[in-house]
Structure 1
């Protein structure tokens, strides 16, 4: 998934990338555990980088979480890393794999591990560890939550179904060589391995830790630039710089995740100097304050999210089955006003599914205009001159989403559409959504890996179109989505995705694209080299940070 800037090793890694492959979010009495390395003396002399985190992540094990990635991105390495090379731009570079090759038929990937990369227990990273990690994710006993990054591997389905004791398509060639065979070509495979899901674990440490791996600092071992040292539940997590990190020791001593659920508290802690960065996503209402404050306005670091905000239209609920109605709704939303009202204009409108910065982004898509009169004409043509009743759903306890939906309600009222906003608890919302029966809704999606598949396939295959309550049906386009996954010609593949996107959004009006947002952080003046992750996640690697007090 993401970002791993390497202070000393990045230049070398970038050079490797050129030849690597060919053809990628304090309860009283809370328990506290720490490793023996904590008892090394006073922490007063240690240089810390303190980051607010709005919820205790519960685990560092990516087999057990799909939401909280700050720990794995800093504690573990992946075979391949996705680094931020410019705002909203990424590049795949070598991680634990120095080089890799892909067979001509796009089925066999051979990874050559760097020698001398160590786990934090002193063991060298070997191919056996990589095999164990990936096979563990697919093992049904693990109940892994990120199997979709590996289910294209030959034998993965049999492993997940309990029909096999190992994953046939993963082969240890020797201590430093791993071969992975896919059932079919899959263009984004390497990019997927660069996500947190691809984090590599020490086999010996995981087996010794059992169900405490990713929880107990003394039993959780990685090969990344920071090692887990202390975890006080709902208070803070302390990670220490790993002296023997293969890319070079981090330039500060401790990374601290401070659990701060309340945005106002986080802002006060930041202004008092108790935390080192303020994520404006925690409270976008603070953006004008920071931008007008002489102390902070020059310390704002921003970058575009590689993500898109959108409105899902459930085509199985009439009259949304009529493309003219869907196009009318597209033109009736004042997206520019929504961006200005809700997000202070910090972003840009998008006209498709793939956002700027994503591999394959098409900047030449037609603009969707704000045109209420044209929308009214389309509704009249479709047989709804007086409008219709329209329901939108959202989760409860989401005031920002409610405000967005109220803007939608106001805009659509201008063309005679009467919007009802239905609020559901989280489990009910997602439970109904997966059946295909959830009313239309506003949501967002940010890139996990830099490939069109992460957006197009996620929403519009036959299965996913139902499970996300789009109920989009276009057999030709849905077959093309499946075909694009296995194309080995990059230019042909991107052209296919751009054709698919134009049809879905502009011909079939299957969803309403809104905007991409900028991600803003405010940093303390002594924090240097802070980079916004290319995909706009709040969770990112902090290895490249420098603290100059």
Structure 2
């Protein structure tokens, strides 16, 4: 469907942008920096507000306290896992209705996951299901269905994995695992999720209006199986400019101001007598880090890598670039992720770093490259310039190399980038989301770490299949110590706080545990 056609469909609701506070009554008004383009969680990798509010999942990841979460029952009332960790049996709640009145059945679940793995769908995020037996054959177009998916009866789903994977339940709580109705979705075809008429979930809110690049309006689902939301409506306005967003918030046209969308406004709101007590903050579950490519000299020497770790004043970067709103991280996992435990602090010690460089054969210092991408946010170039100045005291003569994104990604894929800084936010609450991504044998290469440590590779693989939580967490903590201390394979920098400012009328607002700004608004209330 073209943008022109979608705009024509939405002309009747363009006036909703002008809704006044007086008419907002029991409506929560939030913002999003760009149009989500779809409500279909299978077709987006970064816009989850609609999927999290319009649909449900078999299991939900619920925020229990700041930066903490727990897996709770969703569309599946309960589940069983076989002794070998390979067969999951989900028992669905009976009587759950989609927004069009159809009842949820096991066939809908099987259809949803098969749809995602069907190569014709061209779904994103299919890796959440690749552990299912037969998933790869389906993705490769070699099978007409997924052998590991089975509707045992109307309300029972059996999912068989090719091998045990301890993070599988956490993956099923991700927005991409939202469940769809077979008949409705097949009828909607490639238009599914693009308009209110082609969107149908079981979630707490129903998508009623969608004005491209302007707003979406969601309405309370009166028949929601957990109970009707306290809100009557949820309005999502597209506001790209941070100054405009602040103006809308301060004139009471927006109820929730996400400081992730306007970080430069942080000092203003934290220091403002009117707003400072209405700031809601919690850990953003993600870690800023500096990559070190061991395949490139001088970083092939562990002493040089240790020196680089100690030459960076991380607290200064956190204070200068992020207003001090965060916490230094010293391991692989940031606070808030399952199995997190505080690690031994990495000291800022340029004198010791300089001595290590001399010991490694560089008494007069050493040249290194720091890489950045031209199209990325200015915050990355700012951080590179700060680090360039900081590491000079230890003897690192840093040259900042700028490249375009395509060239960077191509070089990283084959393990050939220079050192670079980035952030990784939790997609699902499991250590595997971090350890496997960066330090598995495949991840270490395609992320350009080249930390070729067989013990780390085998440990990361072993941890994926461990079913004993305590044993698994202990292994991850041992791996983190080896990666950061012994191998000095990267420089963990810090995790940030995620802060929101809310209007006084907003109640029961809880900062989501995850690494995104997207959240379910089911439990939020307004007065």
Report if aligned partners of 1:35, 1:229 keep a CA contact under 8 Å in 2.
no
Q: Which residue among 180, 189, 195 is the counterpart of 2:174?
A: 195
Q: Tell whether 2:411 aligns with 1:432.
A: yes
Residue 35 of structure 1: how far off its partner (Å): 12
Provide the secondary structure at the position in 2 that maps to 1:337.
helix
**Alignment correspondent of 1:154:** 133
Contact 2:84 2:164 in 1 (8 A): yes
Alignment of 1:309-458 (within 5 A): 309-363=288-342, 365-397=343-375, 398-458=377-437
Q: How does 1:23-34 map to 2 (within 5 A)?
A: 31-33=7-9
Counterparts of 1:393 and 1:257, CA distance in 2:
37
Are the counterparts in 1 of residues 14 and 211 from structure 2 also a CA contact under 8 Å? Answer: no
Equivalent runs, 1:247-262 vs 2, <5 Å? 247-262=226-241
Deviation at 1:29, TM superposition (A): 10
How many residues get paired?
520
Specify the alignment match of 1:77 in structure 2: 56
> Any residues of structure 2 matched to 1:223-234 within 5 Å, and which?
223-234=202-213
TM-score (norm 1): 0.91
Moved more, 416-425 or 452-461: 416-425
Distance in 2, Cα, partners of 1:483 & 1:547: 47
TM-score, scaled to structure 2: 0.95
Name the structure 2 match of 1:22: none
Shift of 1:45: 6.5
The question of whether the paired residues in 1 share the 8 Å contact of 2:415 and 2:449 is answered with yes
1:459 matched to 2:438? The reply is yes
> Quick one: distance in 2 between partners of 1:126 and 1:425?
48
Contact 1:33/1:230 (8 A) holds in 2: no
Matches of 1:79 and 1:505, distance apart in 2: 36
- C-alpha displacement at 1:426, in angstroms? 3.0
Contact kept in structure 2, 1:36 and 1:218, CA below 8 Å: no
Distance 1:331 1:389 in 2: 17
CA-to-aligned-CA distance 1:8-47 (integer Å, 9 cap, x gap): xxxxxxxxxxxxxxxxxxx9998153599999xx984763
Moved more, 453-462 or 28-37: 28-37
Q: What is the match of residue 463 of structure 2?
A: 484
Structure 2 distance, partners of 1:351, 1:198, is: 32
Please report how far the alpha carbon of residue 153 of structure 1 lies from its aligned counterpart in structure 2 after TM superposition. Answer: 0.6
2:104 partner SS: coil
User: Aligned pair 1:496/2:514, yes or no?
Assistant: no
CA contact (8 A) 2:293 2:418 kept: yes
> Residues of 2 paired with 1:35 and 1:133: CA distance?
32
Segments of 5+ residues of structure 1 without an aligned counterpart are 1-26
1:236 match: 215
Pair 545,241 (structure 1): closer, same or farther in 2 beyond 3 Å: same
RMSD: 2.1
Match of 1:15 in 2: none
In structure 1, how many angstroms separate the alpha carbons of the residues matched to 2:287 and 2:374? 22
- 1:48 matched to 2:27? The reply is yes
Q: Which of 165, 177, 180 is the equivalent residue of 2:156?
A: 177
Runs of 4+ in 1 over 4 A off after TM superposition: 27-30, 34-39
Runs of 5+ in structure 2 lacking a partner? none
